Amino acid sequence: MKNKIILVTLISLASTLFAIGQSKEATLVKLVETPGQFDTKELKLKAGSYQFEITNKGVDHEVAFFLQQEKDKGKQDFATALPNSGLSKTIKDGETSKTGVVALAKGTYVYSCPLNPTPHYKIIVE
């Protein structure tokens, strides 16, 4: 019985340490989408974990957010989107939504809205 308690305690401790090691604080990047464009035209970031918060300001229909590597910008299908980079829902005028946490390595990325539609805006990650 004593061995089982020790084993359960060790498993619990290992799970907690694993969870702590996996949780990374993400930097929040706020972007405002207006008719036909985003207010921010280019971002320069450091490699790391990010979450994007998008606000629809004045677009009279639902909008979305699309983040991909620059080399894929002509494809704009959801297969080329970065993991966790989609909004939790499309957003109407006045609403805000966030992406999941996105890991960005050194390189060049683009973001846009396929529903607005907007140009592709550059993110340079150093």
CATH of the domain at 100: 2.60.40.420
pLDDT in tens, 77-125: 667 889 999 998 999 999 999 999 999 999 999 999 989 889 999 999 9
3 lies in some domain: no
Running DSSP on this structure, what letter comes out for residue 11? H
Closest C-alpha to 37, from 109, 116, 126? 116
Q: Is residue 72 predicted with pLDDT exceeding 90?
A: no
The verdict on residue 38 lying in a domain is yes
CA distance to 14, 36, 108, per residue, from 82 (Å):
30, 22, 12
Please check whether residue 35 is in contact with residue 115, taking contact to mean a CB–CB distance below 8 angstroms: no
Specify the residue for token string 């529903």. 115
- 65 domain residue, yes or no: yes
Give the model confidence (pLDDT) of 13-35 as tens digits. 333 333 333 446 899 999 999 99
Q: What is the mean pLDDT of residues 63-90?
A: 84
Q: First CA to last CA across the chain, in angstroms? A: 54
* Residue 55 domain boundaries: 25-125
